[in-house]
Structure 1
Amino acid sequence: MQNLLRKYVPPSDRFAEILCGLIMLLTFTLAGGVMEASPDELVLGAVSCALAWGVIDGAIFMLNSLFQRGRQEKLVAEIRSLDRATAIARLREGFDHKYSGVISPEMREEIYHDIVDVARETEPHRPWFTREEVYGGLGLLAIEAICSIPAILPLIILEDDLRALRFSNALLLATMAVIGYYWAGWSGWQGAMRLVIAGFVLALGLVMVGVAILMGG
Structure 2
Amino acid sequence: MSATGLTPQEDEAREPVLDTVDRVSEMCFGLFMALTFVGAVSAATDGENAGQKMLYTALGCNLAWGLADGVMYIVRTLTNRGRWLTLVLTVKNAPDGAAGVSALRDALPKPMKSLVADTELELIRARIAAMLTVPDRPRLVLDDYLGALGIFVLVVFSTFPVALPFVLFKDTSTALTISRVLTLAMLFCAGIALGRHAGFGGWVAGFAMVALGVALTMAIIALGG
Same fold (TM over 0.5): yes
Structure number with higher relative contact order (C-alpha < 8 Å, ≥ 6 residues apart): 1
* Equivalent residues in 2 for 1:48-197, closer than 5 Å: 48-85=60-97, 86-95=99-108, 97=110, 99=112, 106-118=119-131, 121-190=132-201, 194-197=202-205
The residue identity in structure 2 corresponding to 1:174 is A
Larger CA deviation: 14-23 vs 158-167: 158-167
User: What RMSD in Å do the two structures reach over aligned CA positions?
Assistant: 2.3
Choose between structure 1 and 2: higher helix proportion: 1
Deviation, structure 1 residue 140: 0.7
Question: Greater CA deviation, 63-72 or 101-110?
Answer: 101-110
Q: Tell me, in whole angstroms, the C-alpha distance in 1 between the residues paired with 2:121 and 2:110.
A: 11
Letter in 1 for 2:87: L
2:167 counterpart letter in structure 1: I
Contact 1:88–1:113, Cα closer than 8 Å, also in 2 = no
Instruction: Provide, for residues 120-157 of structure 1, a one-character-per-residue CA deviation record: whole Å limited to 9, x for no partner.
Output: x3344122322111111001111112212212331222
Unaligned runs of 5+ residues in structure 1 are 1-5
Equivalent AA in structure 2 for residue 205 of structure 1: G
Using the size of structure 1 for normalisation, the TM-score is 0.84
Note the C-alpha offset of 1:173.
Answer: 2.0
Question: Are residue 47 (structure 1) and residue 65 (structure 2) matched?
Answer: no
Q: Which runs of 5+ in 2 are unaligned?
A: 1-14
**Deviation readout 1:19-40 (Å, 9 max, x if unpaired):** 1111111111111223245212
Sequence identity, in percent?
A: 27
